């Protein structure tokens, strides 16, 4: 005997004109109407059968959440608001300042990395717009490669020679810290140093021939003359430009530098 009083309703007569579509077939070819189920030859209410899922759709409660875990769609986002963790901060990907997935960095967030993690001795990392690490400002003095922070490395003078620096000839050398070229092995042109701008010279000592930084397209600064009687623009500035590794906006870096993640870097 069932543990509850069953509501018994006679089964439809199979010979009747009733439409049986969607009705549960009972004994003798008859059908149970509505939400009734056939039990022992009688049509009874489904919740009186002891079956926790009378409809057989895998959702006993009928609330649209078969698993009962609060996530009807089963996509890991119960509320459907794009924030599976429910922390109020839906994931945004590259550019949100959080290093996630296959990102190496994000904005100024370098995930605790520095140049030494990439086999260099010193320098500064930067993060590109696609959230990958830029190591162009890292360096290792002695590896024979002239990095952005070096003037030379060993016998690699980055294409410079005594002649390109305004001397008559001779041999260049590189400082031990790779930060400067040593020109003591270069020989001066016979006339360089006499104060007059002779053939092949751009300047001579303090004689700059009336040239200034502005003559070379810079906005400010102090022009000077090298020991080889060639103009030195290293102390010229493009107006109020930002120098290497200084904070910047797009277009504010000095000539030859690019602004990446708000810092000026060599190209």
Report d(CA 109, CA 89) in Å as an integer.
17
Averaged pLDDT in 10-residue chunks for the chain of 267 residues: 42 44 64 71 62 57 63 61 54 82 91 91 89 90 89 94 86 93 88 87 92 78 88 79 77 75 83
Q: What residue segments make up the domains of the chain, in order of their start? A: 1-58, 94-140
The contacts of residue 131 (CB under 8 Å, 6+ apart) are: 94, 95, 99, 103, 104, 105, 106
pLDDT at 157: 95
pLDDT at 13: 46
pLDDT at 221: 76
pTM of the model: 0.40
The contacts of residue 130 (CB under 8 Å, 6+ apart) are: 94
């Amino acid at each position: 005997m069932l543990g509850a009083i069953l509501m018994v309703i006679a089964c439809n007569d199979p010979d009747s004109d009733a439409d049986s579509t969607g009705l549960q077939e009972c004994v003798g070819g008859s059908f149970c109407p509505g939400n009734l189920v056939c039990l022992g030859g009688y049509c009874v209410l489904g919740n009186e059968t002891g079956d926790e899922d009378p409809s057989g759709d895998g959702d006993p409660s009928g609330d649209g959440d078969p698993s009962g875990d609060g996530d009807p769609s089963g996509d890991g986002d119960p509320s459907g608001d794009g924030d599976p963790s429910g922390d109020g901060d839906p994931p945004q990907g590259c550019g949100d300042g959080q290093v996630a997935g296959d990102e190496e960095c994000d904005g100024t967030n370098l995930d605790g990395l520095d140049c030494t993690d990439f086999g260099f001795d010193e320098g500064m990392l930067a993060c590109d717009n696609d959230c990958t690490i830029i190591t162009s400002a890292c360096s290792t003095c002695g590896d024979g490669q002239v990095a952005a922070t070096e003037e030379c490395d060993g016998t690699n003078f980055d294409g410079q020679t005594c002649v390109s620096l305004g001397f008559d000839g001779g041999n260049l050398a590189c400082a031990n810290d790779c930060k400067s070229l040593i020109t003591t092995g270069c020989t001066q042109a016979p006339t360089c140093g006499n104060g007059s701008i002779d053939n092949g010279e751009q300047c001579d000592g303090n004689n700059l021939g009336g040239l200034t930084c502005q003559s070379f397209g810079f906005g400010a600064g102090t022009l000077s003359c090298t020991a080889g009687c060639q103009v030195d623009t290293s102390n010229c500035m493009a107006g109020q430009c930002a120098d290497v590794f200084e904070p910047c906006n797009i277009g504010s870096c000095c000539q030859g530098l690019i602004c990446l993640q708000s810092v000026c870097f060599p190209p």
